[in-house]
Every structure is written in structure tokens, then in C-alpha cells.
Amino acid sequence: MIAIISDIHANLEAFEAVLADIRAQQGVTEILCLGDVIGYGPNPRECLAMAIKECRFNLLGNHEQAVMQGAIGFNPKARKAVEWTKEQLQHADFPTEANLEFWKYLNSMPAQLTEGTTLYVHASPLDPTNQYVVPMDAYNEAFIDELMDVVPRIAFCGHTHIPGVFTQDYLFLSPQDIDNEYVQGEKKLLVNVGSVGQPRDGINKSCYVLWDPEKREVRYRRVEYDFEATIRKIEQSGLPETLGQRLARGV
């Protein structure tokens, strides 16, 4: 059993709660992270260090890319969060060696990985770091065909913070639609695992996926965490307050 997480977004309270939930599940052998460990939230250093320790790999997300290369195309609040995060990761209050290790790691993060018939990306099989695949795209048959052409058999992504399964026959199934479980048949799938640190599907609980490659089963987990503590940290940090307020609403 594999735990697949994404979009932690420097939310330490959420990350710790999800890790505790993963440890409570029987048979989980490893944790994989699909990117955006940092950005938006108040604990980038702590979350990045924890992700490096706990996850077999961490993919390059658009927020890691923005910290290194510039926040191109980001809205003003997201851009401010990127700039703030960059300052935290090179802050003079921390040892130079520790800062350098973070930057070396960011530069080493792969954009995508294929293992057997499974593709892992942050955003989309067509553009692994930046392209959004949203629920309404399920109605765009040409686009879904193009996506599925590059999916070996199954692909996992994050980025939109909206969990759900895209099927090869043009359906988007939210976790509620499938009672949090989906068994893959013969057709290809694209699975959005949701967000640990900033859920946006109207539910203020962290979201991640358990994947059983033998049974071909995807299982969604929702985890409560102390978002009020994260909101207070955001307010005290100088980050835009709306980044905290949205956590209570899950949007």
C-alpha cells in the first residue's frame, strides 16, 4: 500500500495530522509526494525537512519552481507568499549549510516520474508542473483523450487541490461520488489526490490517497487538523491573511 500526498503548502499542522493518519493505516510501505511542499503556508522549512525525511520522493511543484525561478503568472497574494517563502529558506538566522541543503534539494526535485505503468506528476501528464486539469475538463473529450494518450495505465496528480478520479470515458468522480473508493478496471485513470495543506473542495479537512497496486484500488482519506493554529501563524507571519481564512472554509 502506498500513501500519495500533494500540496502540503507549508501547513505543518495539516502535514503532521496526515502523517499520523498514514501511520495508523495497516500495510502502508511508503509515502510519495507530488509537489508543492512549500508556498502559501507559514512553515516552509519545517515541512520541507519533514517531506525530505518521510517521503521516498518529492516532485517539483509550481511553488518550488516559482521560489527558484520567479513567480511568473502568479496572482499578487500567491506571489507575495512565494517571495516570503524564498526569504525563509535563505534566512540569515539559520545556518548557511542548512539553507544550502534546502536549495540543493529544491534543484534536485524531478518534474515527473514513471514507475512501471504508473505516472506521477504534480499538475498534468501533458505539463507536469503547471497545467491545471479541473473537473469540468472531463467534458472536453479531445483534451481527455490527449491526457490519456500519455498515461501508461494510471497517473496521479495534485495541483488543483480538488480530489477526484478522471476516467478514460470522460467522467470526473469526486470522492463523495465513489464513497471514497475506486477500483481500476481495464481503462486508464488520472487520479487527483487532493491537498494536504490547502483543500479547495469545500471540505476543510486534509486529503490524500492510499493506492493498492495489487488490487488496483484508490482510497481517499480525509483528516481533521487544527487549521485555527495555522491561521494564527499566517496572521502573525506577515503573509496575506486571506491565505489563512480560506483554510477554515476549504476553498
DSSP conformational letter for 111: S
> CB of 161 within 8 A of CB of 191?
no
pLDDT of amino acid 92:
80
pLDDT of amino acid 38:
98
Classify 222 as helix, strand or coil: strand
- 124: amino acid identity, one letter: S
In this predicted structure, the answer to whether residue 211 has a pLDDT above a threshold of 90 is: yes
In this predicted structure, the answer to whether residue 99 has a pLDDT above a threshold of 90 is: no
Q: How far apart are CA 193 and CA 218, in angstroms?
A: 9
Q: What is the pLDDT of residues 221-235, one digit of tens each?
A: 999 999 999 999 999
Q: What domains are defined for the chain?
A: 2-111+180-187+194-249 (3.60.21.10)
Mean pLDDT, the chain, rounded, equals 96
In this predicted structure, the answer to whether residue 177 has a pLDDT above a threshold of 90 is: yes
Q: What is the pLDDT of residues 13-30, one digit of tens each?
A: 999 999 999 999 999 999
Least confident of 30-34, 68-72, 118-122: 68-72
Question: What confidence tier does 165 reach under pLDDT thresholds 50, 70, 90?
Answer: very high
% of the chain exceeding 90 in pLDDT: 94
Q: What is the pLDDT of residues 77-94, one digit of tens each?
A: 999 999 999 999 998 888
pLDDT of amino acid 22:
98
Q: What is the mean pLDDT of residues 171-194?
A: 97
Question: What confidence tier does 244 reach under pLDDT thresholds 50, 70, 90?
Answer: very high
pLDDT of amino acid 30:
98
Q: How far apart are CA 146 and CA 189, in angstroms?
A: 13
Q: What is the mean pLDDT of residues 107-129?
A: 98
Q: How far apart are CA 176 and CA 109, in angstroms?
A: 32
In this predicted structure, the answer to whether residue 166 has a pLDDT above a threshold of 90 is: yes
- CB atoms under 10 Å from CB of 26, counted, come to 5
pTM: 0.96
Picking from 6, 92, 94, the residue whose alpha carbon sits closest to that of residue 57 is 6
Q: How far apart are CA 116 and CA 213, in angstroms?
A: 11
Picking from 139, 198, 209, 218, the residue whose alpha carbon sits closest to that of residue 171 is 139
